[in-house]
Amino acid sequence: MSARAAGTRWGQSMPEPTRESTKEFTKREPTKVQIKGQSIVAFERTVKQLKGDEAIGELLPRLPGEVAHAISSKEILAVGWYPMEWFAALHTAAGGAFGPEISREIGRAATRHDVTTIYRFILKFLSPDTLMKHYGRVFALFCESSKVIVESQQKGGAVVRCSGCDGASSGVWEDVIGTTEVILELCGAKSPAGKIMSGAGNSGAMVCQYTWS
């Protein structure tokens, strides 16, 4: 997950566009679950950062044709909304090429890059506990149909259930966890860590326990 607001992966500093205003940017008819194009843009940039400029080229043969075409043709726009399956396919391809641990690395690195200096300043005034209370609003900037329930919260930890993300993959969930770990860290948490309790995989839901000190 990531802090998607003022200039971050899951949001923009500009007003949030409506689905109607961004349909022209998305080549395919909207599917049931859509994600913000900024997440795909950040994925591409971060894979290159972590694995070199040729990394995206290594992934293209592993992608479904329509996804490979959109990536190679540079059709993905940050303000668009795209099928969750596209993001899942990118993570599956990256996991096959570089190992499954790459997805959480991407979530962490992309979030550190995208959280602007101004946003870092704002996060300093939030506590990890406050962040988790508003986790659903943050997550919705990534996946518009998502539902989030904080099942339990105590000092130094929380258990969160995310659902409504049909089409996600294990790589997508690892990205979400890596992103959340970094945002917690920016809010002052020490050694934040996420552990999947149930779901994830190729399901559209996950229960994750986050702990920090």
What pLDDT does residue 117 have? 61
Average pLDDT of the chain to the nearest whole number = 86
In which band, very low, low, confident or very high, does the pLDDT at 115 lie, cut at 50, 70 and 90? confident
**Cα–Cα distance for residue pair 164/154, rounded to 1 Å:** 25
pLDDT tens-digit map of 45-62: 999 999 999 999 999 999
Alpha-carbon dihedral angle through residues 145, 155, 182, 136, given to the nearest 10 degrees = 10
* 43 CB-contact burial (10 Å; exposed 0-12 / middle 13-18 / buried 19+): buried
pLDDT above 70 for 5: no
What pLDDT does residue 46 have? 97
What pLDDT does residue 142 have? 85
Measured on CA atoms in the order 21, 22, 27, 32, is the torsion positive or negative?
Answer: negative
pLDDT above 90 for 192: yes
* pTM, two decimal places: 0.84
pLDDT tens-digit map of 61-97: 999 999 999 999 999 999 999 999 999 999 999 999 9
Can you tell me the mean pLDDT for 150-165? 96
Task: Point out the least confidently predicted range of 97-101, 111-115, 173-177, 180-184.
Answer: 111-115
What pLDDT does residue 181 have? 97
127-211, which class in CATH? Answer: alpha beta
How far CA 44 is from CA of 90, 102, 120, 154, 189, in Å, comes to 9, 13, 23, 36, 28
104, 176 Cβ separation under 8 angstroms: no
Question: Where are the domains positioned within the chain?
Answer: 19-113, 127-211
pLDDT above 90 for 28: no
Query: Using N-to-C axis directions, what is the helix angle for 84-98 and 37-51, rounded to 10°?
Result: 10
What pLDDT does residue 118 have? 58
The token pair at 123 is 């996060």
Can you tell me the mean pLDDT for 12-35? 49
What pLDDT does residue 86 have? 97
Helices (H), 24-101: 37-51, 55-59, 65-72, 84-98
Measured on CA atoms in the order 43, 27, 93, 161, is the torsion positive or negative?
Answer: positive
Task: Compute how many other C-beta atoms are within 10 angstroms of the C-beta atom of residue 27.
Answer: 14
- Which residue would you say has higher pLDDT here, 12 or 66? 66
pLDDT above 70 for 162: yes
**Cα–Cα distance for residue pair 99/3, rounded to 1 Å:** 25
pLDDT above 90 for 10: no
Share of the chain above pLDDT 70, in %: 84
